[in-house]
Structure 1
Amino acid sequence: MWKKTSLAALLTLLLSGCSQSVSEYQNETPELKLNQFFQGTAKAWGVLHNWQGKQSVRFSAELCGEWQGGQGNLYELFYFSDGRIEQRHWQLQQQSDGSVSGTAGDVVGQATGQLAGNALYWQYTLRLPYDGDTLDVAVKDWMYLIDDDNLINRSTLHKFGLQVAELTLSIQRQDTNASCVALQQKIQQQVPQS
């Protein structure tokens, strides 16, 4: 009995010691400001791994952001290695205390997050197409600004409390003065007409 209790306590201690808090990055530079990094065009490349850690799909993406003060629109167009093309339009708000919120068409409810130093911790529920229906998964996003033009994003996807996939994404800022009209037109061409 003692061994089981001690082992459970040790595992709890080890697992709780593995979690991170965004506040740990408060002094890291350069400072991540969404309304600066996601202003204008960017390109992204990523890999999705399944629950076994095996690569399941690769993708590239075009991004473009437009901001007025702390409110922004971020347009994303994804090209997957299996031939799928998907789009997302984030409507974002960044507060002066570093808190972030947002909505998108395939996000259930509101996404929430917190900026600190070079990092953003961001969580939301994503509705994915699955086997002719949809599947809601909890997403935990960590973004780390490497330098003024490069950001690494690590996301874990969870269902019923279990991690079902992991995504690694690199985003490179392109033209901060670019308009988003061209990308909006490309996205509009991908949306099925009703």
Structure 2
Amino acid sequence: MNSYDVVIATFDDHQKANVAVSKLIDGGFNMKGFSVIGKGYHTEEKIIGFYNIGDRMKMWGKYGAFWGALWGLLFGGVFFAIPVIGPVVVVGHLAALVIAAIEGVVEGAVVVGGLSALGAALFDYGIPKDSVIKYEAAVKADGFLVVGHGPADEMARARAVLQSSGATRLDMHQAVSPAVATSHLAPAAT
């Protein structure tokens, strides 16, 4: 398996996350390697559904323009609800891993160890579980994550850009490899 670096910046509001994404774009980064995660702020308490890359995104609440713009820039996404955290939006490459984690649950496996579908996707990236729990807590507290993965030199450049964008927390996970897909899944009890 090939290893790669993952940089994760935590922002306390969507404007700072948006500025960070704009700086990454202006810096010439391949945005297919980046994702943004945050709450969707939908008012109902049910799962809304999944949106594919070709679908038009319609968001509710004060972050509609933010998520709509990112949806087009970061190549697709998913909108779902996590118990306790609430509605969450993931746009970019990480959305596919979230969908895979959710499909694993739907097909008879359960996410164990306290990880949600979002946590399972981050864990699949190779992020340590203790860090995953911190990222889930940041999203629960209305924070936004900008996540990048790729070669070490590119992620070092991305880290510098994100650092200049007002991140409240900035982590670099070096030389990580994707977790074994079933390492956080167990058969559902019958």
Q: Give the TM-score taking structure 2 as reference length.
A: 0.29
Structure number, greater radius of gyration: 1
Structure with more contact order per residue of length (Cα contacts < 8 Å, sep ≥ 6): 2
Higher helix share: 2
Higher strand share: 1
Q: Give the TM-score taking structure 1 as reference length.
A: 0.29
